[in-house]
Amino acid sequence: MDLGVSKNLEPLLAAVKAFMAEEIAPVEHDYIHEIGVGDRWQFTDRQTEIMESLKDKAKAKGLWNFFLTEGEHGSGLNTVEYAYLAEEMGKSHIAAEVFNCAAPDTGNMEVLHKYGTEAQKEQWLKPLLNGEIRSAYAMTEPGVASSDATNISTQAVLDGDEWVINGEKHYISGAGDPRCKIMIVMVKTDPDAATHVQQSQILVPMDTPGVENLRPMNVFSMDDAPHGHMHQRYTDVRVPKDNIILGPGRGFEISQGRLGPGRIHHCMRAIGAAEKALQLMCERAVSRTAFGKPLARLGGNIDIVANARMDIEQARLLTLKTAWMMDNVDPKEARVWISMIKTAVPNVSIRIVDQAIQMFGATGVSQDTPLAAMYMGQRTLRLADGPDEVHRMVVGRNEFRKYMDTKPVNAIRRHG
């Protein structure tokens, strides 16, 4: 169970770190600043110029599509190796996109790669792999507890050669991006079928008539423009019968395959965010003075930093082991590990970001450090792709199951 940086990965990891320091860091701030300029839901010319030129450079250096581990377009990396790269990307607000490794595109590309028809691949996977378009994934619904996938109520009904879709979805991340051309929508195709074969996943081009962007949803007060977390309504949205992925009733199955790697990527980026927050916290602590001492020597700050280091190391190892499980054991077993990191890791990253905020005082919640945005992002991760509560249930049940059929060891014995 090798969880270290492999020989294979070493040069790649170094190249990514160098690219981030030399190419991304100098322009990242400019890029973010541009979000507030003009129509917030369009990219400014300056933004487009920054991002496209970074993408071109990254692609030219082969720092591209790392996430896709297998197949002809695959990077040949295993999940442990990719995890180290994802961690680095997690330290920047824009790096994942620069390397064409940003959610939700990565998950969508994986779905198309694994389950798509040749025609679907040609039409959507190819431009996604090239970084020419972006995509979205419409899953969560406003009226029901979407953590329980059987609650999905958006319906797709077959009418001749077309699926007719009606319903509402919200928190469709990236659906505000003008470059977003395609969505995978989770729908209910057969309400009368057995619980886990009622759902399907369907490709819906963004410009299909009947797809309506109702409003951007906020994450705290952040709308993440122009990426956006959209609330959409579907009114008699018609797509060709062939737009279904893998076939009717396979939606739940696809989710399971899609969400695993996505959650690991999220967690590794969260580790990166936590490392970044710890770095900022330490820099602040050694350089800022109050009551005649650097903050590093006041009160429990050294304990906070020490605990942060321990928590990060543990969270990273758990994520790396989960990545290893993903590659090496039965998916059912790996799923429990994914639920573990999906609960454990964001709680670590939030806590550390929160403590870094405290170390920065008012500046910590301001627009002058990345901490506030990091907090909002990490906090949302405790809800996205299943809330903590659901993942804990998965882990807890798995644990109890081990003892269901066995007689207890004789734990209790009377001592005189």
Residue numbers 39-58 binding a second copy by CB under 8 A: none
> Of the ranges 7-15, 42-50, 103-111, 280-288, which one interacts with a second copy (CB under 8 A)?
280-288
* Shortest distance, position 53 Cβ to a second copy, whole Å: 21
Contact at 8 Å (CB) between 352 and 258?
Answer: no
Residue 379 Cβ vs a second copy, minimum distance, rounded to whole Å: 7
8 binds a second copy (CB under 8 A): no
Q: Which tokens go with 380? A: 């949302």
Q: Which residues ranging from 177 to 196 are in contact with a second copy (CB under 8 A)?
A: none
Applying the rule CB under 8 A, the residues between 76 and 95 that interact with a second copy are: none
Q: Are 125 and 250 in contact (CB under 8 A)?
A: no
Binding a second copy by CB under 8 A: which of 237, 267, 268, 340? Answer: 340
Residues 218-277 that bind a second copy (CB under 8 A): 218-222
Token look-up 């990396």 returns 77
Nearer to a second copy (CB atom), residue 32 or residue 164: 32
Residue owning tokens 């990527």? 265
The secondary structure element, H or E, covering residue 293 is strand 293-294
Tokens of 385: 């792709």
Number of residues that bind a second copy (CB under 8 A): 106
Q: By CB under 8 A, what part of segment 355-384 binds a second copy?
A: 357-358, 361-370, 372-373, 375-376, 379-380, 382-384
Q: Least distance from C-beta 242 to a second copy, angstroms?
A: 31
Which x/- pattern, by CB under 8 A, does the window 104-143 give for a second copy?
------------------------------------x-x-
- Nearest approach in angstroms of CB 330 to a second copy is 17
Helix (H, G, I), strand (E, B) or coil at 403: helix
Cα–Cα–Cα angle for 217, 25, 362, nearest 5°? 60
- Contact (Cβ atoms closer than 8 angstroms) between residue 376 and residue 220: yes
Q: Are 194 and 174 in contact, with CB atoms under 8 Å apart?
A: no
Interface region with a second copy, contact rule CB under 8 A, candidates 186-194, 236-244, 248-256, 389-397:
389-397
Residue 333 CB contacts under 8 Å (≥ 6 apart), including other chains: 325
Shortest CB 97 distance to a second copy, Å: 20
Regarding 344 and contact with a second copy (CB under 8 A), the answer is yes
Handedness of CA 126, 22, 34, 173 (dihedral sign): positive
CA of residue 15 relative to chain centroid, distance? 23
At its nearest, how many Å lie between a second copy and the CB of residue 359? 9
Judged by beta carbon, residue 68 or residue 371, the one nearer a second copy is: 371
Q: Cα–Cα distance between 4 and 81 in angstroms, integer? A: 8
Is residue 26 near a second copy by the rule CB under 8 A? no
Q: How far is CA 107 from CA 101, 111, 180, 263, in A?
A: 9, 6, 14, 10
Q: CB-wise, 11 or 408, nearer to a second copy?
A: 408
Q: Please, are residues 277 and 352 in contact by the beta-carbon 8 Å criterion?
A: yes
Among the listed residues 314, 327, 329, 331, the single contact to a second copy using CB under 8 A:
314
